[in-house]
């Protein structure tokens, strides 16, 4: 895919797809609840379809039409052993959440994935589950992963790595475990699982003490399904937000965007940088905060972001690095260790591709430094993505300022945002 320079800004109202994190949970949780769940605006991207097919392969009745899907849940113990291995493509969220869910079922499951997912760390989820007596074996710490479903023992688990995927896997395991499991988060991460479990009637209690969060969940309580309207994805919006900010004469409106305070670090960071962003029509939907967002071209300042931002916007650093490249002053983003174990080593690819675009930048102790300039000269316009959707979309946005950039392996964008190219081109982008 080639992303070309645009001379005018971007203008209009792009359609942003449903939130990826909430979509995964909207399939998993109703599948083990009682009743029929109608889900509107679910994200139909490859990652989410892997979760959907996994649940179907375990006997859950799921009906799909263009706009909505229906899930016929039959309770905590209604899943059946899949006849084959469960293939999860590129989706880390599917892998970690399903490992938790399946560890307390009564059957054996084998999870596999593509070459990128098969390199990602899985002991971070199997180790805490094994402390609860789960029987999970990994292949050298990664997929393929074998789960011999068993009766788990409720324990107190202190989360060493800040990760909503690990937390959610443990919560899903606890649902079918007798007694009270306590999970302590030392850094707060996205809380979509807790919000949905609470509204489905789970016996779950949350308490915040300073920067810690303690979650107590009593298992073996059946859940009751509710209909879900999935809000649109802030992480997918991020590419449009930054594209509008860095290109002159831009104004865009993004509707019905999830504005969960455990996810909105990008907006806070950009506002700190002086971005002209208005948050409009704040409201609640299925207990998730939702809003509309108006963004206009802005002269950005650089900023120094502490590591407390990392947990609130871990997926947004590739696109924030593009914004920082066009700011008036340098930026430092601190505490980016987790970026190394995402769909690619994102820290490495951000640095390599920025340098190829002529942007001076460096990394020290997992902190990223970006020194913007007024005159970039692209050294090598081949953008390496290692099949990482967010690197590909971030550098498409870079192409609107420094194009043409040749974004390699850009089909990965289908893992989270199948309509990305059309939506950007519709409002003034030039991606071919």
Residue 269 region by backbone torsions, left for phi larger than 0, else alpha for psi between -120 and 50, else beta = alpha
Cβ proximity to ligand S3P: between 189 and 259 the closer is 189
Our finding on whether 19 is near ligand S3P (CB under 6 A) is no
Other residues' Cβ atoms within 10 Å of the Cβ of residue 116: 18
318 vs 399 by CB, closer to ligand S3P: 318
Q: Is 195 in the site for ligand S3P (CB under 6 A)?
A: no
Long-range residue pairs from 134-138, CB within 8 A, at least 24 positions apart, any chain: 134/103, 134/104, 134/173, 135/103, 136/99, 136/103
Q: Which one, 190 or 401, has the nearer CB to ligand S3P?
A: 190
Among 147, 164, 175, 320, binds ligand S3P (CB under 6 A): 164
Residue of 315, 366, 386, 388 marked catalytic: 315
Nearest CB to ligand S3P, comparing residues 200 and 317: 317
Site for ligand S3P in 165-194 (CB under 6 A): 165, 168, 189-190
Closest separation between CB of residue 212 and ligand S3P, Å? Answer: 17
Q: Is 19 a catalytic residue?
A: no
Residues of this chain, 305-324, that bind ligand S3P according to CB under 6 A: 314-315
Return the range that interacts with ligand S3P (CB under 6 A); candidates 98-106, 157-165, 222-230, 402-410.
Answer: 157-165
Shortest distance (Å) from residue 97 CB to ligand S3P: 7
| Nearer to ligand S3P among residue 43 and residue 351 (C-beta) | 43
Interaction residues for ligand S3P, span 215-254 (CB under 6 A): none
Closest CA to 103 of 172, 163, 155, 161: 172
Which H/E stretch holds residue 203? strand 203-209
Give the ranges where 176-316 is alpha helix by DSSP (H).
Answer: 192-199, 234-246, 265-272
Q: Which is nearer to ligand S3P, 326 or 417 (CB)?
A: 417
Q: Which of residues 53-72 bind ligand S3P (CB under 6 A)?
A: none
Residue 290 CA to residue 336 CA, distance in Å, equals 27
Contacts with 127 (C-beta within 8 Å, 6 or more apart), sequence order: none
Assign 159 to helix, strand or coil.
Answer: strand
Say how far residue 419 (Cα) sits from the centre of its chain: 17
Walk across the sheet containing 180-185 and list its strands.
156-159, 180-185, 212-218, 203-209
Listed in sequence order, the residues at least 6 apart from 400 whose beta carbon sits closer than 8 Å to its beta carbon are 3, 4, 5, 6, 10, 243, 246, 247, 429, 430
Smallest separation (angstroms) from ligand S3P to the CB of 96: 7
**Residue pair 215/185 in contact by the 8 Å Cβ criterion:** yes
Judged by DSSP in three states, 59 sits in coil
261 in the Ramachandran plot: left (φ > 0), alpha (ψ -120 to 50) or beta? alpha
> Residues 108, 133: contact at Cβ < 8 Å?
no
Question: Cα(401)–Cα(33) distance, rounded to whole angstroms?
Answer: 48
Region 357-386 residues binding ligand S3P, contact defined as CB under 6 A: none
Q: Smallest distance, Å, CB 397 to ligand S3P?
A: 18
**Is 256 near ligand S3P (CB under 6 A)?**
no
Radius of gyration for the chain, computed over Cα atoms and rounded to the nearest angstrom: 21
Instruction: Select the residue interacting with ligand S3P from 338, 402, 413, 431 (CB under 6 A).
Output: 338
Within 8 A by CB and 6+ apart from 386, the residues are 116, 343, 344, 345, 349, 409
Number of C-beta neighbours around residue 201 at 10 A: 15
CB of 194 to ligand S3P, least distance (A): 11
Nearer of residues 53 and 163 to ligand S3P, judged by Cβ: 163
Alpha-carbon distance 191 to 171, whole Å?
11
- Inter-residue contact 149 to 107 (CB < 8 Å): yes
Binding segment toward ligand S3P, per CB under 6 A, in 61-69, 99-107, 150-158, 162-170: 162-170
The minimum distance between CB 299 and ligand S3P, in angstroms, equals 30
Q: How far is the CB of 166 from ligand S3P (least distance, A)?
A: 7
Rounded distance, CA 368 to CA 355, Å? 13
Write out the binding residues for ligand S3P, residues 85-144 only, by CB under 6 A: 93
CB 168, min distance to ligand S3P, A: 6
Least distance to ligand S3P from the beta carbon of 292, Å? 23
Closest to ligand S3P by CB, 164 or 393: 164
**Shorter beta-carbon distance to ligand S3P: residue 189 or 331:** 189
Binding residues for ligand S3P, total number by CB under 6 A: 12
**Residues with catalytic function:** 315
Q: Where does this chain bind ligand S3P (CB under 6 A)?
A: 21, 24, 93, 163-165, 168, 189-190, 314-315, 338
């Amino acid at each position: 895919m080639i992303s070309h320079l645009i001379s005018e800004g971007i203008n209009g109202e792009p359609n942003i797809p449903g939130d990826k994190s909430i979509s995964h949970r909207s399939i998993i949780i109703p599948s083990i609840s009682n009743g029929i769940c109608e889900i509107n605006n679910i994200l139909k991207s490859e990652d989410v379809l892997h979760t959907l097919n996994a649940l179907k392969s375990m006997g859950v009745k799921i009906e799909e039409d263009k706009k909505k899907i229906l899930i016929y849940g039959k309770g905590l113990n209604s899943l059946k052993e899949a006849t084959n291995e469960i293939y999860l493509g590129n989706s880390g969220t599917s892998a970690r959440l399903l490992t938790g869910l399946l560890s307390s079922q009564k059957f054996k499951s084998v999870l596999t994935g593509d070459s990128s997912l098969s390199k990602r760390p899985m002991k971070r989820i199997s180790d805490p589950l094994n402390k609860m007596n789960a029987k999970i074996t990994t292949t050298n710490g990664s997929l393929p992963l074998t789960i011999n479903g068993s009766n788990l023992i409720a324990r107190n688990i202190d989360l060493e790595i800040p990760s909503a995927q690990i937390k959610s896997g443990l919560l899903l395991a606890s649902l079918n475990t007798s007694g009270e499991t306590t999970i302590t988060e030392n850094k707060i991460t996205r809380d979509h699982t807790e919000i949905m479990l609470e509204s489905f009637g789970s016996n779950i209690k949350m308490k915040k003490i300073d920067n810690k969060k303690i979650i107590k969940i009593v298992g073996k309580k059946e859940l009751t399904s509710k209909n879900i309207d999935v809000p649109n994805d802030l992480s997918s919006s991020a590419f449009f937000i930054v594209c509008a900010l860095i290109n002159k004469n831009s104004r865009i409106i993004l509707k019905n965007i999830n504005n969960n305070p455990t996810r909105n670090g990008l907006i806070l960071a950009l506002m700190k940088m002086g971005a002209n962003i208005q948050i409009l029509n704040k409201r609640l939907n299925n207990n998730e905060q939702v809003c509309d967002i108006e963004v206009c071209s802005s002269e950005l300042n650089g900023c120094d972001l502490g590591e407390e931002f990392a947990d609130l916007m871990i997926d947004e650093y590739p696109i924030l690095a593009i914004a920082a490249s066009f700011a008036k002053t340098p930026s430092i983003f601190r505490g980016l260790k987790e970026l190394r174990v995402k769909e690619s080593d994102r820290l490495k690819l951000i640095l390599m591709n920025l340098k190829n675009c002529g942007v001076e930048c460096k990394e020290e102790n997992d902190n990223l430094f970006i020194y913007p300039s007024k005159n970039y000269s692209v050294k090598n316009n081949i953008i390496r993505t290692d099949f990482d959707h967010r690197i590909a979309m971030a550098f498409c946005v870079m192409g609107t300022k420094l194009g043409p950039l040749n974004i390699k392996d850009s089909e990965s964008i289908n893992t989270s945002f199948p309509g990305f190219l059309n939506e950007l081109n519709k409002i003034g982008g030039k991606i071919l």
